[in-house]
Amino acid sequence: MKRASDDYLIRSGLDYLVLRPGTLTMEPGTGTIEITTDAQSARASVSREDVADVVLETLRVGLVNTIVGFAGGSEPIGDAVAALR
């Protein structure tokens, strides 16, 4: 269902940002992630705190018309998001 909603939004012509985090955990955030493909993020985990930080950083830099898969990793969130621009 989510994929169909994402596809609809992308085709709409509106600006969009689709975030596809890995499996959410309750662990404390590390401030680091890894940008992944959808298949990789489905098998990896990421803390809810880091997901929130990714949301804030993507909005801060104005990332649009992008799909971002990510999971816990070793790259600082700011650097990982900046590399997507």
pTM of the complete model beyond 0.85: yes
pLDDT-based confidence at 2, cuts 50/70/90?
confident
pLDDT reading at 3 higher than 80: yes
Show the tokens assigned to 78. 């700011």
Mapped onto helix, strand or coil, the DSSP state of residue 61 is helix
Cβ neighbours of 85 (radius 10 Å): 9
| CATH number assigned to the domain covering 2-82 | 3.40.50.720
Domain limits, the chain: 2-82
pLDDT digits (tens, 9 = 90+) for 22-68: 999 999 999 999 999 766 666 799 999 999 999 999 999 999 999 99
Binning pLDDT at 50, 70 and 90, where does residue 12 land? very high
Amino acid at 42: A
